[in-house]
Structure 1
Amino acid sequence: MPFIIFILLFFLLLFIRYFKLNGKDSPTTAAPRENHSAGFPEKLSTLIQIPTVSWTDQDKVDTNLLVKFQDELVRLFPLVHKHLEREVPDPYGIVYQWTGTHPEEEPILFLAHYDVVPAEEQGDENWQKSPFGGIIEKEILWGRGTLDIKSQLAFLMETAETLLQEGFSPRRTLYFAFGGDEEISGARGAQKLAMKFKERGLRFAMIMDEGGVIARNMLSFLGDKPAALIGLAEKGYVTFKITAKGESGHSSMPPAAGTVIATLARGITRIGDRRHPSLLTPQIRGMLEGFVPWVSLPLGLVFANIWFFNPLIRLIFSGSRSTDSLIRTTQAVTVVQGGEQENIIPGEAGCLVNHRILPGNTIESIKKRYMRKLKGLNLTMEDAGNWPSNNPIEPEKGENRGFNWIREALQESHPEAVAVPFLVNGSTDSKYYKDLTGQIVRFTPLILNQEDINSIHGVNEKVSLENLERGLQFYRSLFVKL
């Protein structure tokens, strides 16, 4: 009898938690929208036609095109440039300040970047439309930057332009900071702009950058409901260079312990023999709990009771590359170098191991882990230094006003979307601004499916005109609420 009572109480506890999280209104279908985007697709098309490409080899970067882009903004958005303060320190950065009616309140900072990755053909994959043609055809705008992320920059400018035309002034002061080299680390753009804000002693109520999107048909358990993935935290980044050194010589007389390549291979095997431990971060917990009202009862019970089902959820997440990356620090050997000729023993061999660091881990904790695994091997390890390294970036404890502002705006622009917290895998310009706010929100109001996601940094990047219209509605609603 006591066992039966225990089981009944256990299931009662599961259902209590489920019903607590299930008391929310269901997302609705999209309401009819007033069209605010007349002429906007053509403006974005003009910006797409300027190939502001960032190259790893910076000698290939044409800064004249960055300047051309900056100048084109003046022509396309005249009211913004009449009423907002504008700073252009160099080709890699632009800052706008829109003074609010209550400047004593903490301002808001919106980020975007106007550089793009190259749009070269990839093997047998071909662009259906010229990547820098800015072609509008059948309600679709094609081109590099339509999704990453000239559209977000243009949303900000067009929303400000339209509201200024209507005589609107924001309550809080709004800043726009646009970088010109995000795709190659942001060291010349965002990093310098962030330093200027810090020197002025500015503190922001929220900073918003790219990151999460509105995912459609990507989470089967949600059915046809899109999920607005609002990035509240960002993984850290570091690449370690591991090097083996020894004596070079003739291949006919190899050392008994093997060549430096063999030593390096043993090191790679050791660090790759086991993945980093899995963990459900607060953002992933919040995402799953946010899905509770919109999934089946059994799955809802699981998501509502992570305290009990945590091991099961981590096991399921581990089965897919995309979800596994959300619950652990990832490591990937991306470059291996050693040897030049088949009959010469090299004196040095090395590799690069790239990491995206889960909140809860640090660069130092990864380094200590590897030192243990590589003990006894003649290997050295150092930060590769090719890209700025940083630990994970999380919001201040209990800080959620930015998330609430985004969710409220989505209720008007995308009422059918389920808004949930999210952990961003990639690295954004916002990492440079982490000391200037309690919460960075990483989100772009575009409804994307898996094919759309694959086109980012791939081929056939494009955006629908309906997506652009609804994105404008989102920012209009957000600006008014702030």
Structure 2
Amino acid sequence: MEKAHSRDLLPVTTACSYGTRSRSSSWRNLAFYVLLIAVGWALSQPASLELSSLHRVARTAASDLDLLVSDYLPLSAAQKHRVPKCPAQPAALAPAIDWRPDLNDTWLSESAARLGAAVQIPTISYDGMGEPGEDTRFQVFATFHEHLASTYPLIHERSELRKINTWGLLYKVAGTDASLKPSLLAAHQDVVPVPDETLDQWEHPPFSGYYDEQKGLVWGRGSSDDKGMLVAVMEAAEYLLAEGWAPKRTLYILSGFDEEVGGGRGAMEIGRVLLEELGEDSIEFILDEGGLGIGQEHGVDVAMPAVGEKGYLDVKMDVRAPGGHSSMPPDHTAIGIMSKLVEALEAKPHEAKLTPQSPVLTHLICVADAIDAGHAASRPTRKQQEGFQLTKKMRKYLRNPRRWPSVAMTIDATGTRVERFIIKTSQAVDVIGGGAKANALPEYVSALVNQRIIEGTEEIMQRMERVLRPVAKRFGLKVDAFGKGSSLQDGAQQTGVGASGSLTLSVVESSEPTPASPTNTSAFATLAGTIKHVFPGENGRERLVTPVIMTGNTDSRHLLKLTRNIWKFNPNTYSSKSAKHTVNENMGIRSHAETARFIHALLRNFD
């Protein structure tokens, strides 16, 4: 067979193989090649700010046409190499002993009581707490430790328990084969506060641990985040030991006490101890809370463990301005200026991005592959499924690197908040304060901006400065951006603020995005096989195990040097409905049993 010419791949009508081309077809081809020449010329011109409006329009049109043409041209080898492959899907992996607590009504009632008792102990993390051995608000953790010891006697008899930095817990169940890397399960003890203003909105008091047997729900702060996970870990380990389990692989259970305020005193300190004792890459895997759950996406049964998490950046904005009597105010007070700064940030949200490094792109391609292979249930209609629609066009675009920005823009425009913010940096102005009296001009106003980032912290800081400097210039403020020194902006005489006004940007807390754990390893295959056993697809369909990222942060980000295999996964079908961090937090007891069953199976499968 003759080699096809490039023109045979273009979207034009020809009759070369069958006879002479028609005159109209020849003209269409000529017009098409003229357009290609125009595209090449426009794209070759420098994209400077001095380009005429006509030139900019021409470049935009040329770029759009170039993308259109690329839809009909085969991908180069380099482009194909950039497209992620879905992780190999192993068969369901059953453990040697398959524990089914979800089918045991007596166990369900007893475990609900144990979880409820844990919820009743208000192990709250507050911002600004003192040292663990000094701040009396930590004393409640001693009560919680006593509860764990009395509730799970086998673990406490057969493990070595160390308390790190007073309240951090590190259990070690020694294995029989020192050549095997240990497993590590992580779940934190602390919970977020309950605002007094919300108490009357709770169906049951937030620290009651009330068990509604009819609904199968345990109510209260921490029932899901994260005492539900911690209790499930302890239940599974206790049951394993009761079975006579003598692990080949050493098991660590790590429980921090300040995850809700960053984990710097709990998990970070425990991780430091483990790193000193065991060294880098010394753990086989770490399982922590998180992920996007188990369910169905675009008609495909999926489980979505997170293999990475976004970075974190808190930036404080401080505006200072001359005070005085409010009867003679400037055109804009410090509070008014701060409102303009906030408005400028919110008017320029971050760009959504899909890159080969993003686990979310891999996830979408996995789901697209399953749909195209006919493995989906009947596809939901637009009215039935909220958010981004994985249409035939979008599935095609996912396999074309040049179209990834188009897919990202579509998700950002039509997706749910979860869909949008797993592919873009979020920014939220969460705390603001200023002013002292009705008749006194505010001299100091502050605002705290929280950002969960997919880019590096330095890039986000530079962008923030670029967005805010024009506003500062408009109001004549000196700007000190992230400790680089002050620079006086023009325009002070126009605003009435005066040259003594200032804007200071400073980092309160930051961490970089974590690297994604690999999905092509035997460890991930064991995880996926265990998931498929405990959570089979509906009606005989296979459940797809695909990687995603966390929009929030977990204690495991402090353990990165211990292993490449860090998975954030709440192994149950209820976690996304459990009202974490808000009114009426609760946990379905059968889903709680699913979590315990999964952990039991995972430890046996890794042994």
Q: In the alignment, does 2:210 pair up with 1:142?
A: no
**How far did 1:105 drift?**
2.7
CA distance in 1, matches of 2:524, 2:397: 20
Structure 1 residue aligned with 2:288: 209
Aligned-residue CA RMSD in angstroms? 3.3
Is residue 169–residue 256 contact of structure 2 (8 Å, CA) maintained in 1? Answer: yes
Residues 53-202 of structure 1 aligned to structure 2 (within 5 Å):
53-56=124-127, 58=129, 62-89=137-164, 91-120=166-195, 123=198, 126-136=201-211, 137-138=213-214, 139-202=216-279
Change (3 A) 1:316 1:125: farther
Find 2:427's aligned residue among 328, 331, 339.
331
CA distance in 1, matches of 2:562, 2:87: 35
CA distance in 2, matches of 1:177, 1:52: 16
**What do residues 14-44 of structure 1 show as CA deviations (whole Å, max 9, x unaligned)?**
9xx99x969969999xxxx753462433322
**What do residues 447-471 of structure 1 show as CA deviations (whole Å, max 9, x unaligned)?**
1275x14x11122222223212222
Is residue 55–residue 61 contact of structure 1 (8 Å, CA) maintained in 2? Answer: no
**How far did 1:298 drift?**
2.0
Q: In the alignment, does 2:359 pair up with 1:283?
A: yes
CA distance in 2, matches of 1:393, 1:234: 6
Structure 2 residue aligned with 1:357: 453
Change (3 A) 1:356 1:71: same
CA distance in 2, matches of 1:393, 1:421: 14
**How far did 1:479 drift?**
0.3
Which letter does structure 2 place at the counterpart of 1:153?
L
Which letter does structure 2 place at the counterpart of 1:64?
Q
SS in 2 for 1:344: coil
More strand by share: 1
Is residue 278–residue 314 contact of structure 1 (8 Å, CA) maintained in 2? Answer: yes
Q: Which moved more, 1:394-403 or 1:87-96?
A: 394-403
* Structure 2 residues not aligned, in runs of 5+: 13-69, 380-390, 483-504, 538-542
User: Considering only CA atoms, is the larger Rg found in Structure 1 or Structure 2?
Assistant: 2
Q: In the alignment, does 2:566 pair up with 1:440?
A: yes
Find 2:404's aligned residue among 287, 310, 326.
310
CA distance in 2, matches of 1:44, 1:266: 47
Structure 1 length normalisation: TM-score?
Answer: 0.85
Is residue 210–residue 443 contact of structure 1 (8 Å, CA) maintained in 2? Answer: yes
Structure 2 residue aligned with 1:273: 347
SS in 2 for 1:233: strand
Which letter does structure 2 place at the counterpart of 1:51?
P
CA distance in 2, matches of 1:268, 1:395: 32
**How far did 1:434 drift?**
1.9
Is residue 66–residue 91 contact of structure 1 (8 Å, CA) maintained in 2? Answer: no
Change (3 A) 1:170 1:27: closer
Which letter does structure 2 place at the counterpart of 1:481?
N
Change (3 A) 1:273 1:259: same
Is residue 109–residue 207 contact of structure 1 (8 Å, CA) maintained in 2? Answer: yes
Change (3 A) 1:434 1:300: same
Is residue 288–residue 303 contact of structure 1 (8 Å, CA) maintained in 2? Answer: no
Is residue 319–residue 444 contact of structure 2 (8 Å, CA) maintained in 1? Answer: yes
Which letter does structure 2 place at the counterpart of 1:311?
P
**What do residues 360-416 of structure 1 show as CA deviations (whole Å, max 9, x unaligned)?**
x11111111223333344233447665x42111113667755533321111111122
CA distance in 1, matches of 2:448, 2:165: 33
Which letter does structure 2 place at the counterpart of 1:392?
P
CA distance in 1, matches of 2:219, 2:507: 35
Structure 2 residue aligned with 1:380: 480
Is residue 289–residue 303 contact of structure 1 (8 Å, CA) maintained in 2? Answer: no
CA distance in 2, matches of 1:315, 1:27: 36
Q: In the alignment, does 2:135 pair up with 1:35?
A: no
**How far did 1:299 drift?**
6.5
* Structure 1 residues not aligned, in runs of 5+: none
Structure 2 length normalisation: TM-score?
Answer: 0.69
Structure 1 residue aligned with 2:497: none
Residues 223-242 of structure 1 aligned to structure 2 (within 5 Å):
225=301, 227-242=302-317
Change (3 A) 1:61 1:3: farther
Is residue 48–residue 134 contact of structure 1 (8 Å, CA) maintained in 2? Answer: yes
Residues 394-413 of structure 1 aligned to structure 2 (within 5 Å):
394-395=515-516, 400-413=521-534
CA distance in 2, matches of 1:125, 1:276: 37
SS in 1 for 2:345: helix
**How far did 1:91 drift?**
4.8
Is residue 244–residue 380 contact of structure 1 (8 Å, CA) maintained in 2? Answer: no
